[in-house]
Structure 1
Amino acid sequence: MSAVDFYAHVAVAGEVLGAGLDAGPGAWEAALGATCLDVPGDGLLRRDYGLVEINFSPDRPGRHGQMRRGQMSCFGFGVKIQRLLYDQSPRTVPPPLLRTYGEFTPRVPFEQLRTAVLDLGRTIELDERGTSNDMYCYRVSASAARIHVVADPDPYGPGDPDPDGHQKGDVWSIDVW
């Protein structure tokens, strides 16, 4: 398996090593480990694993409508691929992902991810509401995932993109809400 396989799985299945929407912090810790940064605020919790960032809220109804008082559950998470270009420290990719998928490169061409998603039987469509001058947004069929792709790597600069930075067509992130 490869990092592209991981990204395609997230885009199609909406989960990371078995943890996804509605899962509590304990399920995410079981999947990705205990090494993370917890950022609480306004009754919410953002858990940052480097490549993967999860958002939790309290007392959210579960999949079957039951309230889980006193518990937190995931209401959204993102795979922040853009971080790999500028932070290549060993802690950026959680060890369970490295063991399962191998090396994670700092750049992922959208066409590679599109092919992998199509191979899993899904389609990808441009989401014009989420698209801007510098970022394309794509929706994966039958999934809560959105794939963000660099449209203009230097939207506010002189038009000379950094050759070591992001390029047009790089996947920026995959967000599941």
Structure 2
Amino acid sequence: MSALDFYAHVAVGGEVLGVGLGAGPEAWEAALGATCLDVPGGGLLRRDYGLVDINFSPDRPGRQGQMSCLGFGVKIHRLLYDQSPSTVPSPLSREYGRFAPRVPFKDLQNAILALGHTIELDKHTTSSDMDCYRVSASAARIHVVADPDPYGSGDPDLHGHQRGDVWSVDVW
């Protein structure tokens, strides 16, 4: 399996190594390991694993002190500037191999189509610098760079993000 297979699986299945929405921090830790940065605030918890960012909220009343995942994202854009071994959790590297710093949307789109799903532009969340696509029968959104120079500096980073690069795959 490849990193592209991983991204397509997240976009279609809405989970990472068997863990997804509704799972608690312990389940995510069992899947991705204990090496992460916890960022609490406002009663919520954001757990940063580098490539994968997870957001937790308190569970329903009666389950005092327990939290569950309300959304997570695979932040592919982080790989372009941080290729240290800790950016990709080791369980993902073991399962999917090397993660390239850039993923062309067309490649991910083809992988998702091969899994029998469709993708459509979400006109309500698309902006001038980022396109947003919805995956059929999934809670996933794929954000794609539409304008690598959104502020018009005229000095694009030739080694930075390019039009058509996948920025992230987010599940909410």
TM-score by length of 1: 0.95
Counterpart residue number, 2:153 = 158
In the alignment, which residue of structure 2 is the partner of 1:96?
91
Find the counterpart in structure 2 of residue 81 from structure 1. 76
Q: CA deviation at 1:34?
A: 0.3
Shift of 1:59: 1.7
In structure 2, distance between residues paired with 1:147 and 1:159: 26
How far did residue 70 of structure 1 move? 2.3
Letter paired with 1:32: L
Give the 3 Å change call, closer, same or farther, for CA 60–168 of structure 1 in structure 2: farther
Q: Within 5 Å, give how 1:91-170 maps onto structure 2.
A: 91-170=86-165
Q: Secondary structure at the match of 1:45?
A: strand
Distance of 1:124 and 1:50 partners within structure 2: 26
Paired residue secondary structure (1:69) = coil
Gaps of 5+ in 1: 62-66
Letter matched to residue 148 of structure 1: H
In 1, the alpha carbon distance for the partners of 2:153 and 2:43 equals 41
Cα deviation 1:33-79 (Å, max 9, x = unaligned): 00000000111000000000000001248xxxxx6332100000000
Q: Which aligned segments of 4 or more residues in structure 1 are displaced greater than 6 angstroms?
A: none
How many residue pairs are counted as aligned between the two chains? Answer: 172
**Match of 1:8, SS?**
helix
| Of 96-105 and 155-164, the range deviating more from structure 2 | 155-164
Stretches of structure 2 that go unaligned for 5 or more consecutive residues are none
Aligned-residue sequence identity (percent) comes to: 80
Partners of 1:119 and 1:160 in 2: how far apart? 37
The CA distance in 2 between the partners of 1:60 and 1:83, in whole Å, is 33
Structure 1 residue 161, shift from structure 2 partner:
1.8
Cα separation, 1, equivalents of 2:153 and 2:59: 48
Q: Which amino acid aligns with 2:42?
A: D
* 1:27 aligned residue: 27
- Residue matched to 1:16: 16
